[in-house]
Structure 1
Amino acid sequence: VTAKNEEQGQEGVSCLSKVYVTLPETTVTLLKGRHTLVEGQRVTLPAIPSKGVFLGASGRFVELQTEFGLRVRWDGDQQLYVTVSSTYSGKLCGLCGNYDGNSDNDHLKSDGSPAGDKEELGNSWQTDQDEDQECQKHQVVNPPSCDSSLQSNMSGPGFCGRLVDTRGPFETCLLHVKATSFFDSCMLDMCRFQGLQHLLCTHMSTMTTTCQDAGHAVKPWREPQFCPMACPPNSKYSLCAKPCPDTCHSGFTGMFCSDRCVEACECNPGFVLSGLECVPRSQCGCLHPAGSYFKVGERWYKPGCKELCVCESNNRIRCQPWRCRAQEFCGLQDGIYGCHAQGAATCTASGDPHYLTFDGALHHFMGTCTYVLTRPCWSRSQDSYFVVSATNENRGGNLEVSYIKAVHVTVFDLSISLLRGCKVMLNGHRVALPVWPAQGRVTIRLSSNFVLLYTNFGLQVRYDGSHLVEVTVPSSYGGQLCGLCGNYNNNSLDDNQRPDRKPAGDSVQLGAAWKLPESSEPGCFLVGGKPSSCQENSMADAWNKNCAILINPQGPFSQCHQVVPPQSSFASCVHGQCGTKGDTTALCRSLQAYASLCARAGQAPAWRNRTFCPMRCPPGSSYSPCGSPCPATCSNLNDPRDCPKALPCAESCECQKGYILSGTSCVPLGQCGCTEPAGSYHPVGERWYTEDTCTRLCTCSIHNNITCFQSTCKPNQMCWALDGLLRCRASGMGVCQLPGESHYVSFDGSNHSIRDTCTHVLVKVCHPAMALPFFKISAKHEKEEGGTKAFRLHEVYIDIYDAQVTLQKGHRVLINSKKVTLPAISQIPGVSVKSSSIYTIVNIKIGVQVKFDGNHLLEIELPTTYYGK
């Protein structure tokens, strides 16, 4: 029995990541998340990997038993138990000792000599076949600092003191089991991780298992807000469950079952275990003569991948002839035997924006609607169908360029939006990362400075929350895709196909063809081609020189040229510089996009410095040119879900020592937030409603302290979601009025008077959100004629969709400083201007209406979507 460790959250701290059990006829590997491999191939529990060897679920553990008395249990996280029969007494070696009844000689090294200390002992038992060539030998690490205040708090009844409380949950057990070692280990972790509740729960759980194994009763200690055990559908938590639960084929494995309690999620009445899920008996899977069990719908290949089999209901197995595609190979990969992609390709959309297809074609397209990046057009399986699209926007008043403001992924009946600022919406609700929807088939997490989404069939989507999106697909999709990213057939010349498979005349036509009307915002519009700033501009040569760093053979990107040719990135950079008139931020974005491609190819360039494109990192973090793709988080110090091997590093702001990711921020370890029983994470200070009616409001404070109380919206408010967050917001329309003589009544009823001839902002969007386009309405006053002290409106300015509407006296209207004839309904998409007998009326599709009589009366009406914004 050997175990592989990995770093846990911070330097000098490790935890289990894999357990290998080598037996005479087979090798079994226990993985995080309670997954299991037999001879490198993933199996569904229960299973008989070889004669006399049994695998199954027991409480929180995956358990292996043999006929010769070996018993190995691992919870897929931090608790591993190895039990042997007395026949092995005095015949064993390793970190577990020799089992001769004498603990004084349990410090022998692999050569039989005594170790000088625990570091020497551990290092001597490192295996020669370690799969991780960069693994760190154990080094002496100073004990974590624990000031008197923290030590007193951590040893108290709210933390490690629970383990030794003679009136607590382990009252009976403490009469028979020494808890000193459990308490000391708990204090070590609590000091090192500043009271992180997740680790306290682990120590409480370990103590529970030890007591129950010894036959001693444990009192209930888990609560909804303290160490809740998240149970899968159709099951409930039990402190005293049967060690061998009812399965679809109980007795199939022949496992020995004791009569002692175990902590577990027990299936509800009428349900039994199928793998690690509770299903009705009518949905039980199939037994295979070779000793394997398959769930209903599970697929597997026979040797050579010449047949594909599927488990149907009533224990029926159906097989059909199969052949791997040209872009696939038949073999074992990541524990799964079958047809696998031989490689992968990446499409990027970056900057303003430039689309580099899977096959290397380059398109420049400046539309501000939502467009299909890629989707399968001729897929064999709905299980692997997806759509990736992106929404663009103009920024900074520049209509010549646009940027990606949101990326949308539809997969497994989920609707996922990756938004600016690394925010994420899942089925219309804002979620904190990481999350694993669709029964873990989709992972969404922070990865370096990206939000990363990846699926169990190989799709990866990365968005930096600003301008850069990368979509990676396995080669099994070769020739099966369509969209702005092309068809992935290794031919860049046909990457200009429209949905009807006919070639588009140029990039503008291509982009327009892949617009998603149902997902595009009112008022979005199409622009394209080469920015006018590039046409015979005297600065064009200087802008070219700005981008020359990309192709400089002695520059910081030179080591990458052989693996990622820079020509397309250079062309995109020049295009962006022309469109932004040499903007430094745009230049840095172009260089970042190429650096990301290089990092994917294993060549992460160190190209930034303090004066050139510096990456400003928030408190608690520092810049790294090659950050971890799966950093530790408050909710997952020891992530039970493997980080995919193919994920590249990327430049990022990595949390410094003593800090950890909480949502999107690095916080001190002691400032981690709260995890709900269902798994949702909330940073400290966050407030959220648990009911769709806004009747229960919860807040999070440190040490996973969630406080909830009854709440109601005010009479003039209603409960609804904006950007995925439930809030009490004003009902009806908001109205701001100027009833006369420069007296204003605000949306919330306050009164203001303005007595000058200046221009003032009446309303603008101060807190932009994905679904709320920016607008601004201003007004200029003038003195009344005749020498009076009265003031009246002179002009009203409406800035929307990077255009300006000016309302003047006598129903006179200017659009972008040019007079227009009313009604004007097509000059600005999504905006109409008309006149009535009294008012000039501007209607905007986002629900905003402006009415002006050309003299004293002005009325601005807004929908509730702009409440508080």
Structure 2
Amino acid sequence: LRTDFRLTVSFDGQNHLAVTVPSTYAGALCGLCGNFDGDPHNDIPKVVTTAVPGCDEPAPRQCSSRAVISRKQRANGEECGLILWPEGPFRSCHPRVDPESYFQVCITDYCVFRGHKPIVCQAVSGYAAACQEAGVVLEPWRAKTFCAPACPPHSHYELNGTACPATCSHPDSPETCNLPATEGCFCDEGFVLSGERCVPPPDCGCHHQGRYYHREEEFYPGDGCAERCRCTAMGTVTCWAAQCPPGQECRVDKGVRGCHGGQRGRCVLLGARRLVTFDGLNFTLGGSCRYVLAKVCQGDGPELEVMLENGGGVTVAVGGSRITMESRSTWSVDVDGETRVLPLSVDDGKTWVTQEGNSIVLQTAPGHRLVYAATAVLLVTVPSTYAGQMCGLCGDFDGNGDNDFMGPDGTPLNGSQELVVAWKLPDESGPCTDTCETCPVHPPNATGPYHTASSCGMMVATPGPFGGCHGQVGPEDFLEHCLREMVLTAGATDTLCRSLQAYTTACQEAGAPVEVWRTESFCPLPCGENSLYALCARSCEGSCARLAHPLPCAGLCFEGCRCARGFFTDGHRCLLPSTCGC
């Protein structure tokens, strides 16, 4: 970012942020960067006067071997020492940018993260970026065995590349660029940048009212939501009149203008047995075949289809990919038949899948979310903009549960038995049945013992651990399922624990508060070595995969196991950063 008063701000998206101002601002600044008066000793205020609510001061991370690491790397010129090495690739930068502070930061990161290579590479690249911003032409510092660059398709690495690469919007930018050189990945000959992808110029998107849009992207071109447009596959823009549905307002949310607000649609499958549709119809789901649970059937929105597998798993078709979650698998999913470790993203980052505590969470850019907690619960939630556009066993999300028994062709059906047959999918894995073989009817008074606050009744108890959730996710359907299952299993403890876990997951998916209800003697959740139970695990944020790459996480809070301080999740394991993978 550059202004006409000579302010420059550059950020590489990960670890290097630089702010430069002209000398006319000397002594007139404040903040973490200091006052720019020439005296570094007064840059840190004695008293912090501005506090952010809910943000506590983090405890300092201890590293007893820091001094030893510093002496060794300062002497041998390796890893962090590469920054200081008098005969190294950065020697021409030393007179322009003092390397000592960058070396100290690198040593601290090396020590705290136990020498994890991607972290060290980020620290060294931070000094490289500072050198280039100072106008220094760098010598090669990366090698096959140290910080080797990796670039996406149709691109390659350059050490001193242009800071103004050719894009679909500005294909001639390199010829007019007067910014310092920068290292990174650059499009191959015959390709230009379309967002973050390198594409042939004929595959570029659309320009409309001074802005660039990807092909097939939909957008609101003005300040309101009265007109919606699409960049077509032919590179032309088509627009039509639009308006927000009742209960929604036109606003910018998370950087995207659109119709926001309104109640999200939520379809709940409890224990692969009890289904609650988007419109609240509650019925027993019989059958052991493959079925369409939820699907976008109306409108021009992106593809989404959620399918129940006959083994208890679920498959999601979105963005041209098929993502399958198995009932006994965590920290991994199958993408188009290939097993992939979480977290991951597909469809150019428009869909991402993460492990959050006990649950696998799939999210899409348009706002669909699927939360899969294996045998306990499956949640499918969609934005209010998809009202009336859904179909499948979960119904159409039109606010009327009376018409949820509808076939693929729109024909009304008589009961759940006809419904499951209508939404049945071809299955080559073996014989299956569409009837419920384990759905016995029990007398009404059989549920009496399980209404107590120490059993299923805990869901509705006030005060109780779920009291703060009642206003956002009603407990009635979850309570009914819990009572039925407890009768069916003769009050088995693991049945109760699964039912309470299901309601916990639904509450946390909705962002509602839940208090601790597990104890060492009641529904304990065993965790592995170097990990412990947490009501808010945030497993994805503390994963090895995010140490060096800003992969997206769900942002929501789910219960489960989290790694102890200093350890990071790598699938089921909690590892020191030095032993994390690539």
Kindly report which structure 2 residues correspond to 1:32-71, keeping only aligned pairs within 5 A, or say none.
Answer: 64-71=1-8
Is 1:625 the counterpart of 2:545? The answer is: no
Partner Cα separation in structure 2 for residue 237 and residue 254 of structure 1: 16
Any idea what the Cα deviations from partners look like across 1:573-626, whole Å, max 9, x if unmatched?
122223333322122111111122233251313221111111111122211123
Kindly report which structure 2 residues correspond to 1:110-129, keeping only aligned pairs within 5 A, or say none.
Answer: 115-116=45-46, 120=47, 123-124=48-49, 126=50
Partner Cα separation in structure 2 for residue 314 and residue 578 of structure 1: 60
Partner Cα separation in structure 2 for residue 76 and residue 170 of structure 1: 23
- The aligned length equals 575
TM-score by length of 2: 0.88
Match of 2:523 in 1: 613
Using the TM superposition, name which of 274-283 and 66-75 deviates more.
Answer: 274-283
Q: CA deviation at 1:425?
A: 0.8
Q: CA deviation at 1:465?
A: 3.4
Any idea what the Cα deviations from partners look like across 1:378-400, whole Å, max 9, x if unmatched?
2323xx2210012244xxxxxxx
Q: CA deviation at 1:283?
A: 3.5
> Which of the numbers 581, 586, 601 marks the counterpart of 2:495?
586
> Which of the numbers 277, 281, 302 marks the counterpart of 1:361?
281
| Equivalent residues of 2:545, 2:551 under 8 A apart | no
TM-score by length of 1: 0.61
Match of 1:732 in 2: none
> Which of the numbers 57, 62, 65 marks the counterpart of 1:146?
65
For 1:607, the aligned partner's letter is W
Match of 1:240 in 2: 160
Match of 1:390 in 2: 308
> Which of the numbers 556, 561, 568 marks the counterpart of 1:648?
556
Match of 2:211 in 1: 292
Match of 1:30 in 2: none
Match of 1:557 in 2: 466
| Equivalent residues of 2:352, 2:552 under 8 A apart | no
Change (3 A) 1:363 1:150: farther
Change (3 A) 1:316 1:89: farther
For 1:410, the aligned partner's letter is A
Greater relative contact order (Cα < 8 A, sep 6+): 2
Partner Cα separation in structure 2 for residue 333 and residue 243 of structure 1: 30
Match of 1:678 in 2: none
| Equivalent residues of 2:376, 2:501 under 8 A apart | no
Change (3 A) 1:103 1:287: farther
Change (3 A) 1:415 1:549: same
For 2:522, the aligned partner's letter is F
For 1:640, the aligned partner's letter is P
Is 1:461 the counterpart of 2:370? The answer is: yes
> Helix, strand or coil: the match of 1:245?
coil
Kindly report which structure 2 residues correspond to 1:531-570, keeping only aligned pairs within 5 A, or say none.
Answer: 531-532=439-440, 534-535=441-442, 541-542=448-449, 546-553=455-462, 555-570=464-479
Match of 1:98 in 2: 35
Partner Cα separation in structure 1 for residue 492 and residue 350 of structure 2: 41
Any idea what the Cα deviations from partners look like across 1:71-90, whole Å, max 9, x if unmatched?
11011112111112233334
Partner Cα separation in structure 2 for residue 572 and residue 441 of structure 1: 35
Kindly report which structure 2 residues correspond to 1:720-799, keeping only aligned pairs within 5 A, or say none.
Answer: none
Partner Cα separation in structure 2 for residue 554 and residue 242 of structure 1: 62
Match of 2:352 in 1: 443
Match of 1:522 in 2: 430
Match of 1:826 in 2: none
> Which of the numbers 323, 333, 342 marks the counterpart of 1:424?
333
Match of 1:76 in 2: 13
Partner Cα separation in structure 1 for residue 223 and residue 127 of structure 2: 45
Partner Cα separation in structure 2 for residue 319 and residue 556 of structure 1: 49
Q: Percent identity?
A: 34
Change (3 A) 1:139 1:428: closer
Match of 2:321 in 1: 414
For 1:651, the aligned partner's letter is E
| Equivalent residues of 1:248, 1:285 under 8 A apart | yes
Q: CA deviation at 1:542?
A: 4.4
Q: CA deviation at 1:196?
A: 1.8
Any idea what the Cα deviations from partners look like across 1:413-472, whole Å, max 9, x if unmatched?
111111222120111111111111111100111112211110000110111234421111
> Which of the numbers 383, 404, 414 marks the counterpart of 1:474?
383
For 2:167, the aligned partner's letter is T
Any idea what the Cα deviations from partners look like across 1:24-70, whole Å, max 9, x if unmatched?
xxxxxxxxxxxxxxxxxxxxxxxxxxxxxxxxxxxxxxxx1112211
Match of 1:491 in 2: 400
Change (3 A) 1:513 1:629: farther
Gaps of 5+ in 2: none
Q: CA deviation at 1:503?
A: 4.5
Change (3 A) 1:142 1:235: closer
Change (3 A) 1:576 1:590: same
For 1:428, the aligned partner's letter is G
Higher strand share: 1
| Equivalent residues of 1:448, 1:650 under 8 A apart | yes
Change (3 A) 1:68 1:151: closer
Partner Cα separation in structure 1 for residue 295 and residue 183 of structure 2: 44
> Helix, strand or coil: the match of 2:244?
coil
| Equivalent residues of 1:345, 1:358 under 8 A apart | yes
> Helix, strand or coil: the match of 1:202?
helix
> Which of the numbers 176, 179, 190 marks the counterpart of 2:110?
190
Q: CA deviation at 1:160?
A: 1.9
For 1:461, the aligned partner's letter is L
Partner Cα separation in structure 1 for residue 535 and residue 59 of structure 2: 28
> Helix, strand or coil: the match of 1:203?
helix
> Which of the numbers 114, 134, 140 marks the counterpart of 2:54?
134
Change (3 A) 1:278 1:530: closer
Is 1:169 the counterpart of 2:89? The answer is: yes
| Equivalent residues of 1:446, 1:664 under 8 A apart | no
Partner Cα separation in structure 2 for residue 594 and residue 562 of structure 1: 13
Change (3 A) 1:584 1:150: farther
Partner Cα separation in structure 2 for residue 78 and residue 256 of structure 1: 28
Is 1:281 the counterpart of 2:201? The answer is: yes
| Equivalent residues of 1:632, 1:638 under 8 A apart | no
| Equivalent residues of 1:507, 1:529 under 8 A apart | no
| Equivalent residues of 1:350, 1:593 under 8 A apart | yes
| Equivalent residues of 2:334, 2:340 under 8 A apart | yes
Any idea what the Cα deviations from partners look like across 1:706-741, whole Å, max 9, x if unmatched?
xxxxxxxxxxxxxxxxxxxxxxxxxxxxxxxxxxxx
> Which of the numbers 266, 270, 288 marks the counterpart of 2:190?
270
Change (3 A) 1:558 1:90: closer
Q: CA RMSD in A?
A: 3.2
Partner Cα separation in structure 1 for residue 458 and residue 248 of structure 2: 38
Work out which of the two has the higher radius of gyration on C-alpha atoms and give 1 or 2: 1
Is 1:665 the counterpart of 2:579? The answer is: no
Change (3 A) 1:253 1:512: same
Change (3 A) 1:497 1:149: farther
Any idea what the Cα deviations from partners look like across 1:177-198, whole Å, max 9, x if unmatched?
4322122111111111112222
| Equivalent residues of 1:160, 1:200 under 8 A apart | yes
Q: CA deviation at 1:665?
A: 2.6
| Equivalent residues of 1:154, 1:190 under 8 A apart | no
> Helix, strand or coil: the match of 2:544?
coil
Change (3 A) 1:276 1:648: closer
Change (3 A) 1:148 1:85: closer
Partner Cα separation in structure 1 for residue 506 and residue 472 of structure 2: 9
> Helix, strand or coil: the match of 1:650?
coil
